[in-house]
Structure 1
Amino acid sequence: MAVRKEKDKTYTLDFYYVDKISGVRKRFKKRGFKTVREAKEWQSNNRIDVELPTHEKLIFYFEKYSQSLECNNETKKGNKQVLKKYASDLLEMEYYKISKPMLLDWRNQLNNTKLSTKTKNRIIGLIKAIFRYANKIYDLYDTSVILDRFKKPLEEIKEYSIWEVEEFNKFIDCIDSYTCKAYFTLLYYTGMRRSEAKALLKSDISKDMKVTINKSMRHGADSVKKPKTKGSIRTIDIDKDTYAILSPLIDSEGQYLFGDLEPVGASTFERAFKEGIKTSGVKKIRMHDLRHSHATLLINSGADIVAVSKRLGHSDINMTLGIYTHLLERKNVELIKIIDKMHKKVKSSAKVVPKNNKTL
């Protein structure tokens, strides 16, 4: 208890609290109260909070933060595993003992690992998210404000390999299996994730050419789960040509769009994809690059980046901006060229002011 009785029968107010500005744990002591009630009233009137729950370890706040997330259990487990591997010491420390210099030292250690910049920033993002949660919910000081994300070095910045429409057509003409042909076409013309397409039921495709995406599947039917984020749940339009290719599958027996009572195995699609590349002679790309191809073609055609982000099912537009920054920078160069042409048109159409006219 924050109030204790002294030998002289007076009461002392004695407790620890965390300074909200510095984040430092301090001790407060005031003597001479005649009763416990008087001490508590003084504390209440002066708005001095008793010790906040900073004695809890950082992992306590991580668990609370994790419970608040709207994502599947697999993602939560992945977050916990990566933190236990690269931030285990921090997780086992009491919250108030984690100082800014300590976090900077940890960041330096993380920087010395062979992880990609993307993975390092994911870990830093998790740590910052835990501190923000503790600050928002428990009113604790956020020491992680000192942490900056790493800048991606030039050698890690690369453009994704994509197929232009002509390349995709050359590839798809070499696919013998109708189911595989429809699967690859859907990926290319919707930007859908492979796991999302595999999990589609025939009932997910409506007659007004819309597809509802609300689940994913890595392997067989027993691995069906909710999408990674809330933003992944979406309904998108499909073009009439793609719908026409899907129609025979929709009208066939069974519940799965790509399959019947059971979905087609991932290895079947992988094998067909590699054979199609080999037979057609197009450049090698990953199957996931069909998604990048779709996004790139839309952005290069002038599609709104917000609409593209929603179509891809990204959690927020910043993810889309981060992935396709190189395309947007190219767009900026094109914008300047357009502005230069505008200036030239204005100069060429400008009227000459007569010499006897006076300017105001």
Structure 2
Amino acid sequence: MPAYYNEDTKKWYCKFYYKDWQGNHKQKKKSGFERKKDALEWERSFLDKLAGSPDMAFSDMVELYLKDKELHTKLKTYKTKKHRITAWILPYFSEQAVNDITAADIREWQGTLKNAIGATGEPLSPGYMQNLVTEISGIFNFAVRFYGLPTNPCKIAGNLVGKKRKSIDFWTKKEFDRFISTFDNSDPYYIAFLTLYYTGMRIGELQALTFTDLDLKSGIIHITKTYSVIDGKTVITPPKTPKSVRDILIPAFLCEILEDYKKRYYKPLPETRVFQMSRQPYREQMKQHCALAGVKRIRLHDLRHSHASLLIELGFSALLVSERLGHESVSTTLDIYSHLFPSKQSQMIERLDKLCEGNYK
């Protein structure tokens, strides 16, 4: 593995031959290194990744993992993964060989997370730390499945940093009515918050709505896409999951409000977005009007929880709630909202007693 010095550029470079995945002999050249050592390390890293050896550097395995995720996950998911790994995992394990990282190393890393301070100046939340543990375990699972790593050390180490809270925040209808009453009826945010509360759609789904998605004569909103901003650019993608593509039936009063709102636009194009406000102003409006209404502050996403709790309070089944929210399965709905469904154990026993009365002695 020789490296070479370029007298003209005063830089080092490496040049070598290798076999690609089809068995073809190819030459690789990489230049621009300040030191001979750097050129040699780059060549070794390239050949390690090509061979798929579990003794490659952890940083090289991460590069392969992220390339795979870039191909097979949504852009926003990929960006989130890359940020978490770059900020909280790579700095600790970067140069270690993948197969040298032990369960003890993982436990020690988890200990550093407990004392870490995030970008907000606050300690990392248990939920965020759990996300990081899931991320690193995903990298090792990838190495086990595709690159011959015998075991995932994270499975032995376990989770020492805590779990996500299962509790959810939501408003009762009375609290929402107090909140919405602080808006002028002509305010676009008044209409947007009404739509969020009475449909349960995600904020990204609301932001992606175009006028072709509103079938107000039939009282239906078609959810076919979601809106996000990635690296400062607007991105419209399919919704979170396949089941998130759905039709939401809406009450007549909301149809009338949206119809009047549509008339404010002069000959809107079909692809014109219904609500064109960015995400941060929604948060600011919530903060301001929560204070005016004297109600507890909740997140934008908690309006979705508020809609679900309203449906449950009205006696609708988990299946109907699941379909309306676009959950992948009823089990997802029950996992989130099971504590909100009223217990009907007493009613069940009464009906069993009545059914079997006088039949058994």
Q: What range describes the TM-score normalised by the shorter chain of this pair?
A: 0.5 to 0.7
What is the rounded CA distance, in whole Å, between the counterparts of 1:108 and 1:167 in structure 2? 41
Q: List alignment gaps of at least 5 residues for structure 1.
A: 1-50, 354-360
Give per-residue Cα distances to partners, 1:267-312, cap 9 Å, x unaligned.
Answer: 6545554554455454443433212201222344455546645644
Normalised to the residue count of structure 1, the TM-score between the two structures is 0.66
Which residue is equivalent to 1:239? 250
Change in CA separation of 1:105 and 1:210 when aligned onto 2, cut-off 3 Å: same
**Among residues 100, 103, 113, which one is paired with 1:100 in the alignment?**
103
Question: Partner of 2:134: helix, strand, or coil?
Answer: helix
Change (3 A) 1:239 1:61: same
2:222 to 211, 222, 242: 211
Q: Give the Cα–Cα distance (whole angstroms) in 2 for the partners of residues 236 and 300 of structure 1.
A: 22
Using the alignment, how far apart are the partners of 1:193 and 1:231 within structure 2?
A: 14
Partner of 2:172: 164
Distance in 2 of aligned mates of 1:151 and 1:336: 37
Contact 2:200–2:307 under 8 Å retained in 1: yes
Q: Does 1:296 align with 2:298?
A: no
Displacement after TM superposition at 1:124 (Å): 1.1
- Native 8 Å contact 1:212 1:236 kept in 2: yes
TM-score by length of 2: 0.65
Deviations 1:200-227 (A, max 9, x none): 22122235413224121459x9523436
Indicate the residue corresponding to 1:60 in structure 2: 60
Q: Which runs of 5+ in 2 are unaligned?
A: 1-50, 117-122
- Largest Rg, 1 or 2: 1
Partners in 2 of 1:89 and 1:101 — Cα distance? 13
Contact 1:230-1:315 at 8 Å conserved across structures: yes
Matches within 5 A, 1:1-360: 53-69=53-69, 70-87=72-89, 88-113=91-116, 114-143=123-152, 144-150=154-160, 152=162, 157=165, 159-176=167-184, 177-206=186-215, 208=218, 209-217=220-228, 222-226=233-237, 229-231=240-242, 234-241=245-252, 242-251=254-263, 252-253=265-266, 254-255=268-269, 256-259=272-275, 263-266=276-279, 269-270=282-283, 272-274=285-287, 276-301=289-314, 303-305=316-318, 308-309=321-322, 311-312=324-325, 324=336, 327-329=337-339, 331=341, 334-342=343-351, 344-345=353-354, 349-350=357-358
Rate the CA distance shift 1:295–1:149 in 2: closer, same or farther, 3 A.
farther
Instruction: Give the letter aligned to residue 166 of structure 1.
Output: K
Which moves more between the two structures, 182-191 or 337-346? 337-346
Indicate the SS of the match to 2:128: helix
CA RMSD of aligned residues (A): 3.7
